[in-house]
Structure 1
Amino acid sequence: MILITGHVILTPEHRERMIALGAEHSARSRGEAGCLGHNCHIDVEQPDRLVFVEEWADMAAVRAHFAVPASGAFVVEMRALSPQPPVMRIFSGEDVTARVVG
């Protein structure tokens, strides 16, 4: 499984547009092959930070997601609206929940 986390800083003048973009991007991404989960959240400790949490079946699915034109357009628009570049980290791992909690 591939886990992607990221965030973007919201600005007062673009806040609603950026939140709408994040929600649209997450909803669209959940329909892609190999997407196990894709959500955006407002950080309760830093309310001007929009956080993304994504789960993908494998790197092939992530590469396909990055190749979708709408994904690229999303990043370009978010970069233009935010005072700081978006942050993204990609992790490879396995779900060990059953081994930890029984």
Structure 2
Amino acid sequence: MILITGHVILTPEHRERMIALGAGHSARSRGEAGCLGHRCHLDVEQPDHLVFVEEWADIAAVRTHFAVPASAAFVAEMRVLSPQPPVIRIYAAEDITAKLMG
């Protein structure tokens, strides 16, 4: 599984637009092949951070996701609206819940 985390800094003048963009991007992404989960959250400790948590079946699904024109447009618009570039981290992950929880 591929786990992606990231965030973008919200600005007061664009806050509602950025939240709507993030929610729309997550909803659209959940319909893509290989997407196991895609959520957009407001950080309760840093209210100016819009946080993304994504789960993908494999790297091929992630590459396909990144190639979708709507994904590129989303990132481009967020770059314009935010005072800092979006932050993204991509991890290869293994679900070890059963090992830890029995």
1:66 aligns with 66
SS at match of 2:27: helix
1:100 aligns with 100
SS at match of 1:46: coil
Runs of 4+ in 1 over 6 A off after TM superposition: none
Q: Following the alignment from structure 1 to structure 2, what is the Cα–Cα distance between the partners of residues 84 and 96?
A: 34
- Note the residue ranges of structure 1 that are not aligned, 5 or more in a row: none
TM-score normalised to the size of structure 1?
0.99
Q: 1:7-46 alignment to 2 at 5 Å?
A: 7-46=7-46
Task: Quote the offset at 1:93 in angstroms.
Answer: 1.4
Residue type of the partner of 1:44? V
Residue type of the partner of 1:75? V
TM-score normalised to the size of structure 2?
0.99
| RMSD (CA atoms) | 0.3
